[in-house]
Chain A
Amino acid sequence: MKYIRIIEENCSGCEECLSSCPFGAITIEDGIARIGDACNLCGACVDHCAFGAIEMEQSEEAIVSPPAQGGVWIFAEQRSGQLSGVVYELLGEGRKLADELDTPLCAVLLGHEVGKLTGDLIAHGADIVYLADHPELKDFRDEPYTAIIAQGVEEFEPEIFLFGATSTGRSLAPRLAGRLRTGLTADCTELSIAGEARLLEQTRPAWGGNIMATILCRRHRPQMASVRPKVMKRAIADTKRQGRIVELSLNAHQLTSRTRLLDYIPELIHSINIEEADIIVSGGRGLGDSKNFSLLEELASMLNGAVGASRAAVDSGWIPYRHQVGQTGKTVAPKLYIAVGISGAIQHLAGMQSADVIVAINKNADAPIFQVATYGIVGDLFEVIPALTAALKKEVS
């Protein structure tokens, strides 16, 4: 068991620890800190205390990581016969982990007539492709995908299993983890191997990006994680690479599903969607009106990017919800994020702060968005954006 306790003699009642607790579980009573029921045993307060008055104890039960030699697995998500972008990132990251563990990297591919994708997976780093090809598997559905992959996991015993943190990955992975009764870490932005125990250190933002947490899964295998798209480096193709294809066994029972996909309606208005875009131009309340979004659309199309928005802009009805970036919207990690007339509320930052380069355009020099920006322009967007678009046009011609 693990627990946190206050060493009363050391506690000065200074209240410094209160702000360190992400769960608001610490209170001061009679001049001494108390840990309440909301405590999640995360340990954030322990380092924070300057008086050494908070300690975390963990009984050293023998921590056995069960044997698992089945390699590092990645889920090769596809839609309409096309691998999704995050798959190449999983292959890049998975290859790194597999090399460190000296174990094979394996891709799991389910679909119909998707055999042609196996070469691409191998070229990008997979040593083995576990393949299930069947008309019933053409579109992703949780139940058959879970049943078939679960059986594969039980048979081949992977050590690690990674998924893209996409709408598919975040639906499938928790269902599968439940079936396998193992741990699953959501939306990781950093993965590494911790020493001899061969443990996967999984780091992820939580609480709207206010805190980062590192998570281990010591006693169960596989160690499962979903990985935030656009954060890991893509694998580079090497067409000379060799690999094996292993067919997963299927039976009729596994293929049955209580879910039916009736239709997929692609969004036509903006040709690039924000999850996939390398460049996003986002607008906030500063735009003042829905029609001003055309300024951003023009800029975005020149940059071959997509248009995003803050919650304030979405709530004002200027642009549909699917463009919303942030805690209540989508999490994005493009190469370039241009925030126009966005203050940078913490909930908005949660959705975009892992962008490589952030440009902030805001007339208020104190707007928090400037704290995370690479380039800041303090000025009126109605002057800056046209100037930028004009300069880009000049570049092109």
Chain B
Amino acid sequence: MRIVVCVKQVPETTESAKINPETGTLMREGVASITNPFDMYALEEALRIKEKQEGDHEVVALSMGPPQAQEMLKEALALGCDRAVLLSDRAFAGADTLATAYTLARAIETLGGCDLVLCGKQAVDGDTAQVGPGVAEELDIPHATYVRKIASLSPQAIEVERLVEGGIEQVEMTMPALLTVVKEINEPRLPSLRGIMKAKRMEVTVWDAAELAVDAERVGLAGSPTEVVKVFTPQLEKDTQILEGSPDEQAKQLIHGLRQAGLM
């Protein structure tokens, strides 16, 4: 079975990231790049399938991004992926989710197709959660989002549990299929020293637009119907009213305030 895991490099938003109270902008010293946290769960799940399921399995980490994303893919190799492919071309820049999904799907076809595609629930920079279902549509395969468990898996069918409003859905799909996974699905591993050494000797495959034989009208900025026309920092600050006094007095004031706001 071939499993493709879509991974994206994102800027790190650490616990130390703070909003500058005066300017309302983000205070960041030297932004580091990390693998999108949700994609780590997707990678882990693919590796677990490879280790636990009978048969020959190949795990391919796939990413679209600037050349520096190779570093992230090296980490995926260190974790145990068999292959890593980076789609990198000036022509891919400025892609929205539609163009990204198209490009990733073409790459999966260039690989010769696959049995299972795993994505993270969403990327923590764009926060759209749209690329996964978009790839499934472009490949014409079924998909399930917010997957918290793979209950069973065979070359013909997959049964999963999805987290939905107020409960859990058990869903069965034919293979090939695509899943987007949430954090609950597993506990990602750390790379082993052996893995890191092995990854050093492995190459990340880099493909450009020509190699994918993509339609130039459908990639990058040209292939993106959505257009970001403005970016601004949200007004976080509120006029906070600090309630003073003993806990009983504080409770009384709070209830009074909530009642005035029509909340009780």
**Among A24, A84, A209, A267, which residue has the most Cβ atoms of chain B within 10 A?**
A24
- Are the CB atoms of A368 and B238 closer together than 8 Å? no
Closest-CB distance, A104 to chain B (whole angstroms)? 24
Q: Which of A37, A212, A329 contacts B93 (CB 8 A)?
A: A37
**Interface digits, B12-34 against A, CB 8 Å rule (1 contact, 0 not)?**
01010111010001111001010
- Are the CB atoms of A19 and B251 closer together than 8 Å? no
B236 proximal to A (CB < 8 A):
yes
* Interface bracket on A: 35 or more
**Among A324, A390, A391, which residue has the most Cβ atoms of chain B within 10 A?**
A391
* Assembly CA distance A215 to B225 (angstroms): 10
* Assembly CA distance A13 to B177 (angstroms): 50
**Among A166, A173, A321, which residue has the most Cβ atoms of chain B within 10 A?**
A321
Q: B148 to chain A: which residues have CB within 8 Å? A: 321
- Are the CB atoms of B240 and A370 closer together than 8 Å? yes
- Are the CB atoms of B183 and A321 closer together than 8 Å? yes
Q: B171 to chain A: which residues have CB within 8 Å? A: 259-262
* Assembly CA distance A36 to B242 (angstroms): 44
- Are the CB atoms of A346 and B17 closer together than 8 Å? yes
Q: B252 to chain A: which residues have CB within 8 Å? A: 391
- Are the CB atoms of A391 and B144 closer together than 8 Å? no
**Among A23, A210, A329, which residue has the most Cβ atoms of chain B within 10 A?**
A210
A12 proximal to B (CB < 8 A):
no
A254 proximal to B (CB < 8 A):
no
Q: B31 to chain A: which residues have CB within 8 Å? A: 24
* Assembly CA distance A213 to B234 (angstroms): 10
* Assembly CA distance A114 to B261 (angstroms): 37
- Are the CB atoms of A377 and B230 closer together than 8 Å? no
Q: A212-B233, A353-B236 are in contact. Are A347 and B13 (CB under 8 A)?
A: yes
- Are the CB atoms of A19 and B25 closer together than 8 Å? yes
Q: A177 to chain B: which residues have CB within 8 Å? A: 98, 130, 134
- Are the CB atoms of A42 and B254 closer together than 8 Å? no
- Are the CB atoms of A19 and B127 closer together than 8 Å? no
* Interface bracket on B: 35 or more
**Among A43, A178, A181, A220, which residue has the most Cβ atoms of chain B within 10 A?**
A178
- Are the CB atoms of B66 and A260 closer together than 8 Å? no
Q: B174 to chain A: which residues have CB within 8 Å? A: 258
Name A18-47 residues within 8 Å CB distance of B: 18-20, 22-24, 36-44
- Are the CB atoms of B227 and A217 closer together than 8 Å? yes
* Assembly CA distance A253 to B154 (angstroms): 26
- Are the CB atoms of B138 and A266 closer together than 8 Å? no
- Are the CB atoms of B168 and A265 closer together than 8 Å? yes
- Are the CB atoms of B98 and A43 closer together than 8 Å? no
Q: Which secondary structure dominates where chain A touches chain B?
A: mixed
Q: Which of A209, A218, A219, A267 contacts B167 (CB 8 A)?
A: A267
* Assembly CA distance A167 to B148 (angstroms): 13
* Assembly CA distance A345 to B96 (angstroms): 28
**Among B26, B239, B246, which residue has the most Cβ atoms of chain A within 10 A?**
B26
- Are the CB atoms of A371 and B238 closer together than 8 Å? yes
**Interface digits, B135-165 against A, CB 8 Å rule (1 contact, 0 not)?**
0111001111110100000000001001111
- Are the CB atoms of B251 and A371 closer together than 8 Å? no
B212 proximal to A (CB < 8 A):
no
Q: A167-B164, A259-B142, A373-B238 are in contact. Are A42 and B98 (CB under 8 A)?
A: no
* Assembly CA distance A335 to B258 (angstroms): 10
Q: A259 to chain B: which residues have CB within 8 Å? A: 142, 144, 171-173
Chain A residue at minimal CB-CB distance from B23? A19
- Are the CB atoms of B66 and A36 closer together than 8 Å? yes
Closest-CB distance, A349 to chain B (whole angstroms)? 7
* Assembly CA distance A183 to B18 (angstroms): 32
- Are the CB atoms of A375 and B243 closer together than 8 Å? yes
- Are the CB atoms of B166 and A391 closer together than 8 Å? no
**Interface digits, A50-69 against B, CB 8 Å rule (1 contact, 0 not)?**
00000000000000000000
- Are the CB atoms of B129 and A186 closer together than 8 Å? yes
Q: Which of B125, B165, B177 contacts A207 (CB 8 A)?
A: B125
Name B227-264 residues within 8 Å CB distance of A: 227-234, 236-243, 246-248, 250-252, 254-255, 257-258, 261, 263-264
* Assembly CA distance A370 to B19 (angstroms): 13
Chain B residue at minimal CB-CB distance from A202? B226
Q: A83 to chain B: which residues have CB within 8 Å? A: none
Known: A167-B165, A259-B144, A390-B248; 15 extra A-B contacts, CB below 8 A, are A24-B31, A37-B66, A174-B133, A178-B133, A183-B227, A206-B128, A257-B142, A265-B169, A279-B263, A303-B264, A322-B184, A371-B21, A372-B236, A375-B243, A388-B255
| Interface positions of B (Cβ within 8 A of A) | 11, 13, 15, 17-19, 21, 25-28, 31, 33, 37-38, 66-68, 93-94, 96-98, 101, 124-134, 136-138, 141-146, 148, 159, 162-174, 177, 182-184, 221, 224-234, 236-243, 246-248, 250-252, 254-255, 257-258, 261, 263-264
